[in-house]
Each structure stands twice: as structure tokens, then as C-alpha cells.
Amino acid sequence: MILRLSRRTSITLTSLVLISGVAGSGIPAHALDPAPGVADLVHDIDEILSDSRLTMARSGVVVRSATTGEDLYTLDGGKLFAPASNTKLLTSSAAMETLGPDYRFGTQVLTKGKDIYLRGTGDPTMLAADYDALAAKIAASGVKVVTGQLVADDTWFDDVRLGTDWAWDDEPYYYSAQISALTASPDTDYDAGTVIVSVSPGAGPGKPAKVTTKPDTDYMKIVNKAVTGADTDVLVEREHGGNTVVVTGTVSKQYDEWVTVWDPTLYAASLFRKGLAAHGVRVIGPTVHGATPAGAKIVAEHESMPLSQLLTPFMKLSNNMHAEILTKAMGRKVSDAGTWAAGLDVTESFAKANGVQTLLLRDGSGLSRMDGLTPSSLASLLVSLRDKPWFTTWYDALPVAGEADRFVGGTLRSRMRGTPAAGNVHAKTGSLTGVTSLSGYVTSAEGEPLVFSILTNGYLSGAPRDLEDRIAVRLAQFTRTAPVDGAAPTLRAETAAQDDGLECSWRKPVQC
């Protein structure tokens, strides 16, 4: 008997019948005899993956029953792929296990001698208003003058600001901001280490544009070369190595750009110093980097929301800086070292204890193209996490297909609308140029919980996210016994013109 198996076809112990093996042939001593519904599923996913856009690309796909562990479909499940933001599945779950859902970042103001100290632990949710509130507490305590220095203490983390493998030309953009234990965000998306630069029409055609920042800060020097025009075509660029921002082009309506700051530690300190001045507290000395000495007295402090709440903006909007801050926070807790190396050791240990057999991690967010994960390992992790006491909180923080609310649908809010996957698929998206991924959970038409991981690398077209969506919709329609009725729903497709290789939430204003 000659047995022919598709390279895409799943071979699972639960759906095999024993036959005689062919010695030395490499053919297993089992042949696939799946239920009709499984055979239909394999056929349909094979057809989806036959798309011509994948001819030159590599795709890895695993679909697994979350209850039986059975692989319903697998294609190159054990091979390494660049996962992009699917890396955050590991980082976020490791953080929940290591730091705990109730973990909060703390920011303190201390005094000793003539100096005042601002000490942080990485809180990405600190706003200008929070630094102002700390300053108000100092003023309320009766302090009028600080005769010494304002010391910005970011020593909770190391001083390595950017990931080793991050692209240099991403550095001005908010999804690649510098990491510091003292930082600030301009909005409640909590885009740490950034300022919003707003460009608006001026007094009339050809007249200078109006440029403002949020928060209002003099930490950045604005060079405004933009003018009012009939169209909006604005370029906002921060010069490397400093905080000079050059604005050029024409503007007909308000345009906002999220711009990273150079040295977020001193930026945060500048917001605090401005707050002190506003509340009548004068600091005579300069602002400097430094460590808080032993015996310093705490005079004001602020705590962040718990990690269980931070998961929502982190995962829904695929916030890279949250992932890296949490990575260093885990390293600090476990090894007393707020470094990428220490934090990634924690994530790797957690991942391997929860089904991830093969991985390569260089950061917590997936910005590095050296990160490597396998679809099978991601599926194993997703199954394992269902037994965690914090699973429901973590699961609810994943983007939900077709849900219009940004803080529910997240990066999936515009995908799979009006399909059986809408409101059903909870999954993490991921994208870089030439990389797209989608891994998560879906409940079949018969109520069976499934996990899936779809990783695609090396395509030359626009991101084939519509193929991910078609697979997810097909899984929502899956039954083991009955064929799928009806034509496949029309899905929102990404085109080359739309695709710039970024998560939709990384294109500000949010375009998900």
C-alpha cells in the first residue's frame, strides 16, 4: 500500500487508524482517517494557503483542540518564524505570573540634605498631571525652596535605552521609544516616552502653521517650517541625538504626530520641575541624573493602576514600550537587575515551563527581527495558559475580532466584522515589514474551544492578513460532523497600498 500525505495535512494520534508501516520509508505506521468535518477543515485551510501571495513566503499554521490537545491542522508547526507582536503573548503572560495581577509601578519624591529626588520604577502610565500632583504634594508640605539639585533617579532599570536589534530608522517613532525607569506618556493610551506634536493651520494661506505639544513642554525645541496650505502633507522629524523637532510641509487641518523624546528620564524630570514651579516651589540647582542615597525621606508618592488593568492598553493596542518595561521589571524582581537579559531569562523560563519548546527572544515586544517562535509552541502556550488563575483577565485583554470599541476590539476591531468570528476570536496580532501573525482562541460552531497560531514571513505583497481572517472565520464555523454551509463571508482585505508593515494601532491616529 502506498500512502500519500499532503505536506499541510495534520497527523494526529486521536484521528489515526493503525496500518502496517513501510520500513525505511519515513512513512508513519498510521494513516489519517479524520472525521468528515476535520477533513473538510484541512481541505479549506489548504485552499486558503494556496493563495499566490504566499508562493514566495513561508507560513506556519497550527490549529489545536484546547480540550483534547489534538492537532486539527498543522503546516510547518515546528519551524521558527519571526513572530512580530505575537511575542507579547509570552511577555504579558510571564508578567502576570511573575509580577502578579496586582503589581503596581511606584514613583516617589524623596529629600535628603539640600537635594530633592524623583525616583521611578518604570511606570508607563505617568502623565504630566501625575507629576504635577506630586509637585502639589511637595508644595502642600510647606516646601518653598530647594537649594540643591533635582536628581532624576532611573536606576531601577539599566541605562540601555533601545533594543539591540531595533532598526535605527524607527527610533523617532513612538512604537520604538527609549526605555527608562522614569518616563511620561502624553495620553491615556500610555505611549511612554513620547510627546504629541500638533500642527494646525495658521492665519491664512502661505502663513506659518501653528505648532503645539501635548503636554505643553519646553523639553523639545520646535523648528517650524510648515505653512498653511490647501492640503495636509506634514513631516515631523526629531533629529537624532537630541530633542530638536523640525516640522515641514503644508497643513489644511490639524495633524498629530507622536514623537519620541531623547532621554525620557530628563523629560519626566522636566515635567516634575515645571509642576513644582507652578505650585510655588523653586529649585535653585540644576536637574541631573543620579541615584537616591540611603536614608532619603519619602515626601510624596504615586502608584500606577494594577497590571491587570494595564493589560488592556498593552495588549489591545499592542504597546511595545509596555512590553519592554514589563520585561525589565521582571528582571528586577527575580534577579534584582532591571535589564533586558535578566527579564528575558524570566520570560524564557516561564515559556518553557508552559509548552514552548523552541524560542529565541531578543526583546519583549517583537520589534526585533531576531525573535523566533514556532506555531506549535505558541499553540501549546495558549492551551497551558487556560489553567492559570489569572487567565480570564489576560484573555479579556486580547483584541476581539470585529468589536468596534478600541479597548475591546483593539487591533482586531476592523477585522472579521459580520462573520462568525466577530466577538468570538480573541487573538494577538503582529506585523513588521514582511511579517504578519495572528495567534489566539476561537470557539467552534459546536462549542469546542480551539487555539490557533498563524505566522507568515517573507511575503512581497501587502500583508496577507485577509488569509489569517479567513482561517479564523473557518475555525469559528468548524464542526466535526457537518459540512460548512454557505459561501465564505467577504472580509476586509489589506492591500499593498494600505500596508506599511505596522500594527494598525502603531499608525497614529489609530486606524484599526
pLDDT band at residue 10 under the 50/70/90 scheme? very low
Of 19 and 337, which is predicted with more confidence? 337
pLDDT band at residue 482 under the 50/70/90 scheme? confident
372 and 434 inside one domain? yes
In sequence order, what are the residues at sequence separation of 6 or more whose Cβ sits closer than 8 angstroms to the Cβ of residue 71?
Answer: 10, 11, 12, 62, 63, 64, 77, 379
Among candidate residues 10, 15, 65, 88, the one labeled active-site is 88
Alpha carbon distance 203, 177 (integer Å): 34
Q: Is residue 295 part of a domain?
A: yes
Eight-state DSSP code of residue 53: G
46 and 127 inside one domain? no
136 and 218 inside one domain? no
Task: Report the DSSP pairing between strands 282-283 and 287-289.
Answer: unpaired
As a whole number of angstroms, the longest Cα–Cα distance in the chain is: 92
pLDDT band at residue 497 under the 50/70/90 scheme? very low
Looking at the DSSP bridge assignments, the partners of residue 17 are 31
Q: Is residue 29 part of a domain?
A: no
Looking at the DSSP bridge assignments, the partners of residue 199 are 211, 255
- The pTM is what? 0.91
65 is catalytic: no
Eight-state DSSP code of residue 484: P
95 and 111 inside one domain? no
Among candidate residues 318, 384, 437, 453, the one labeled active-site is 318
pLDDT at 4: 30
CATH number at residue 44: 3.40.710.10
Alpha carbon distance 48, 61 (integer Å): 12
Alpha carbon distance 207, 226 (integer Å): 9
User: Each residue of 423-433: pLDDT tens digit?
Assistant: 999 999 999 99
Count, residues in the chain: 512
285 and 323 inside one domain? no
CATH number at residue 169: 3.50.80.20
User: Each residue of 18-76: pLDDT tens digit?
Assistant: 222 323 333 332 334 568 899 999 999 999 999 999 999 999 999 999 999 999 999 99
Alpha carbon distance 326, 342 (integer Å): 11
Number of domains in the chain: 3
Alpha carbon distance 258, 256 (integer Å): 7
Q: Is residue 219 part of a domain?
A: yes
Q: Is residue 411 part of a domain?
A: yes
pLDDT at 18: 28
234 and 169 inside one domain? no
318 is catalytic: yes
With CA atoms as reference, report the closest residue to 275 among 211, 185, 212, 215.
215
Q: Is residue 458 part of a domain?
A: yes
330 and 355 inside one domain? yes
345 and 392 inside one domain? yes
**Residue 86 above 70 pLDDT?**
yes
90 and 111 inside one domain? no
Alpha carbon distance 488, 9 (integer Å): 22
87 and 227 inside one domain? no
378 and 495 inside one domain? yes
User: Each residue of 110-168: pLDDT tens digit?
Assistant: 999 999 999 999 999 999 999 999 999 999 999 999 999 999 999 999 999 999 899 99
Q: Is residue 434 part of a domain?
A: yes
Domain hosting 222: range is 201-252
CA 461 to chain centre: 23
Looking at the DSSP bridge assignments, the partners of residue 195 are 259
Taking residues 426-442, report their average pLDDT: 97
Q: What is the arrangement of strands in the sheet containing 426-432, beginning at the earlier edge strand?
A: 71-75, 58-65, 449-457, 435-443, 426-432
181 and 268 inside one domain? yes
